[in-house]
Chain A
Amino acid sequence: MDINQRPHLMKLVFTLSGVAFVCVLILLIANQMTHRQIADNARLQQLRIIDAVMPIPHDNALYDDTIKVIDPQYLGSENSVTVFRARNADQPIGLVLMPVTAKGYSGNILLTIGIAYDGTLLGVQVLKHQETEGLGDGVDQNKSDWIKVFTDHSIVKPPVEAWTVKTDGGEFDQLSGATITSRSVINAVRKSLEYYQINRDNLYLDQSNTEN
């Protein structure tokens, strides 16, 4: 390297480090000032979704009465699922599973499912999805009302063989143009109801000894 270039190079290194340092500093300060509020916002959003699928009045601290379970076969993912238990006068009245994973048309769809003690579905909400804009994104409760088709159903109503879209001879309307998405969400909801049926008594216990 030409010896004359060295001062120039040093200047480049100096400028770049300086700018990078200032940028990092600004980002650190901005993050410091906002992260608490953002975490609160995220939690509020989550609580709103939990409330939406647990309409039955309860007197315990629903958000803190939780256990974590893992069941890839029924709940769709290797990751743990949080179970929020609702009780009234110490009697279990229902629970919320979050997040249950459905294999969507493009990537996973994360669902929150509320189930009453007797196994009736209280509601389903979508936490996160990447479905096609204008077609599959109708699963999102903010985009269409389709997700409400599940309310008041249970594993025996309709019978298991009718737990699919109408094109497959089932009971549920599909989202127009998004049969794969609808089928997968219906499947995921049915499986979590089956999971609930099998594990119901364990799910309301205090210890997290349900991880089988």
Chain B
Amino acid sequence: MKNFFSPLFDKDMVITVLGICPLLVAATNSVTAVTMGMVALLSLILINIIVSGMRNIISYDLRITIIIFVSATLVNVIHLCMQTWFYELSLVLGIYIPLIAMNCLVLANAEEYALQNNVLNSFLYSLKVGIGMVFLIIVVGMFREITGYGTVLQQSELLVGDMARSWKMTLLNGDSGLPFFKSAPGAFFVLGLVIALTNFMDTRTEHPTSP
């Protein structure tokens, strides 16, 4: 049984899953997912770069406080920019943008990696972590949009402008989507499916001979 849950005992995995959950809740369709992922990626990279650049003046006792200062300031600035250029989109995403400031994926990366490494390495590392995260958010967002609303690329006009109104494609008729996938628990359910799938593929590659 312990084997079965082993990914959840792995520290990195816990942080990734916990960090990604609040981002997933807001990702109800592909457009909000892309936005949410991009904003989180941008915050992650910038916070890592800044913290890494400041690592020589940050004493050990103050590291958490200062990382939170930096991330709160940065995310606030990003939120202000979003309200300036993408007002409606920022209304749709609501509280989930400011919440990135306390995202444990972001904070843990800054504390565990950026404080000990130089700016370039921190940048590359956060890019690597962030791109995996964005990919996961977009997969979950698209899955939820197709199953929950039965559409693809709805609301894309919020991101690209009025010309994108016609991009919306309806795959299922009318209201035939499952409301469960639009709700927050639906996001965690989809994340669970993705984790199960990756675990399944991992076991297949690790023990190719076992049935």
Chain A residues in the interface with B (C-beta under 8 A): 8, 11-12, 15-16, 19-20, 23, 26-27, 30-31, 34, 37-38, 41-42, 44-45, 132-135, 137, 142, 144, 176-177
CB-CB nearest in chain A for B148: A134
Binary interface encoding of chain B residues 170-209 relative to chain A, with 1 for a CB under 8 A from any of its CBs, else 0: 0000010001111110100000000000000000000000
Chain B nearest CB: distance from A138 CB in Å? 9
4 interchain residue pairs of minimum CB distance: A134-B182, A41-B87, A134-B179, A134-B183
Interface residue ranges of B14-58 to A (CB < 8 Å): 28, 54, 57-58
Q: Please determine whether B179 and A16 come into contact, CB atoms closer than 8 angstroms.
A: no
**Chain B binding site: helix, strand, loop or mixed by DSSP?**
helix
Q: Which residue of A has the minimal Cβ distance to B57?
A: A15
* Pick from B54, B76, B87: contact of A38, CB under 8 Å: B87
Chain B nearest CB, measured from A38 CB (Å): 5
Task: State whether B80 touches A34 (Cβ < 8 A).
Answer: yes
User: CB-CB < 8 A to A30: which residues of B?
Assistant: 76-77, 80-81
A27, B77: Cβ atoms closer than 8 Å: yes
Q: Which residues of B contact A133 (CB under 8 A)?
A: 28, 182-184
Closest to A13 in B: B62
Provide the main secondary structure of the chain A interface: helix
- Can you give 14 contacting A-B residue pairs, CB < 8 Å? A11-B59, A12-B61, A15-B66, A16-B62, A23-B69, A34-B83, A38-B84, A38-B87, A44-B87, A45-B87, A45-B91, A132-B183, A134-B180, A135-B179
**Is B88 on the interface with A (CB-CB < 8 A)?**
yes
B166 at interface by CB-CB < 8 Å: no
What's the least CB distance linking A197 to chain B, in Å?
A: 33
Are A41 and B84 interface neighbours, CB within 8 A?
Answer: yes
**Contacts known (A133-B182, A134-B180); A37 close to B84, Cβ less than 8 A:** yes
Q: Which residues of chain A are near B119, meaning CB under 8 Å?
A: none
Q: Once bound together, how far apart are the Cα atoms of A37 and B81, in whole Å? A: 10
